[in-house]
Structures are given as C-alpha cells and as structure tokens.
Amino acid sequence: MHVRLNRERKRMKAHNFQYWPIFMLGGNQLVGGFGLQPYGTDAAIPELGFHLRPRYWGRGLAVEAARAAIRYAFDVIGAKGSAAGHHPGNANSKKTMMKLGFTYTHDEFFPALGMSIPYYLLNRQDSGSRSLGCEPRTACMRL
C-alpha cells in the first residue's frame, strides 16, 4: 500500500494528476480508485482509469468517478484529450467508455495481461457536447 501511495504522490508532483481512492459517503468504505496516469509520449493526453471492488459494480460509481477525472483533466491540467482502455472481456467497461463519449481508436498490447486491449479517446473539443456533470442520484465526486 505504501509503495502505491508513494508512486501516486510522485506522479502528482511530476504531472499534477494521480489515482485517488473512492470512499462511500458517510461510511468510509473503500470502493476502489480512479484517476489519471501518463499515456504514451503525449503528456497532453492522460490515460483515465477506474477500478472498483466487485460489490460496488452497477451503481454508476465508475461513470461518476470517470467524469470527475475527465473534468479535472480538462479544467485543471488543460489536457487536450483522455485515453482509456479496458479488458476485452469486460463489456460493462466498454459501455462506460461509450456513455462517457469515448471513441474506439485501436487495440494495443498490454504487457501486464499479455494481450491486446481496446483503447478509446475522448478529445477535449468532443467532450463539450456531452454532459460531464454528476449523475442526479449520486453526490458529485470532489478532487
């Protein structure tokens, strides 16, 4: 845990973004994490990621967290876009990418899994036509 925390602190210092934990309001239950990390060689397009514990799937939390990270990428660090990928067998992550307005661009080999995964892109100019606001049934995530 300390290794990951130190890595995220270094990432924040170097890039002004990181992965943040997600907790349920009023209970301090750890839901998972979300955030941004460098993607490829283009620092102006960070990679979005979110990882939730299975018991929290299907509640709209991934979309809410992703929207908060996208707003942060565009409004705070001035990113020109955001990339994202998911395990090819995870249909729900694909639906989340589509709901957020990402467009499939290519498959990319992911060494940690030893397989190619689908990758998506959300351009800053394309995000203006999509709602990045909070879901009405949930509290907005704050960074």
Q: What is the average per-residue pLDDT within 133-138?
A: 39
Say if 139 falls within a structural domain: no
> 69-78, 79-88, 94-103, 121-130: lowest mean pLDDT where?
121-130
The domain tally of the chain equals 1
Say if 132 falls within a structural domain: no
Q: Is the pLDDT assigned to residue 131 strictly greater than 80?
A: no
Say if 141 falls within a structural domain: no
CATH code of the domain in which 24 resides: 3.40.630.30
pLDDT digits (tens, 9 = 90+) for 82-99: 999 999 999 999 999 999
The answer to whether the CB of 35 falls within 8 A of the CB of 107 is: no
Angle at 96 between CA 94 and CA 102, to 5 degrees: 80
Q: What is the average per-residue pLDDT within 104-124?
A: 93
Residues 6+ apart with CB under 8 A from 32: 21, 22, 50, 51, 52, 53, 56, 61, 65
pLDDT digits (tens, 9 = 90+) for 15-61: 777 788 889 888 788 999 898 988 876 668 899 999 999 999 999 99
Torsional sign, CA 86, 90, 96, 102: positive
Say if 55 falls within a structural domain: yes
The answer to whether the CB of 80 falls within 8 A of the CB of 124 is: yes
Walk across the sheet containing 103-110 and list its strands.
Answer: 19-23, 30-37, 47-52, 81-85, 115-123, 103-110
Residues 6+ apart with CB under 8 A from 55: none
**Domain hosting residue 57, numbered range:** 2-127
In 10 A of CB 88, how many CB atoms?
15
Say if 22 falls within a structural domain: yes
Say if 138 falls within a structural domain: no
Say if 12 falls within a structural domain: yes
pLDDT digits (tens, 9 = 90+) for 38-50: 887 666 889 999 9
Q: What is the average per-residue pLDDT within 103-131?
A: 84
pTM: 0.79
Say if 142 falls within a structural domain: no
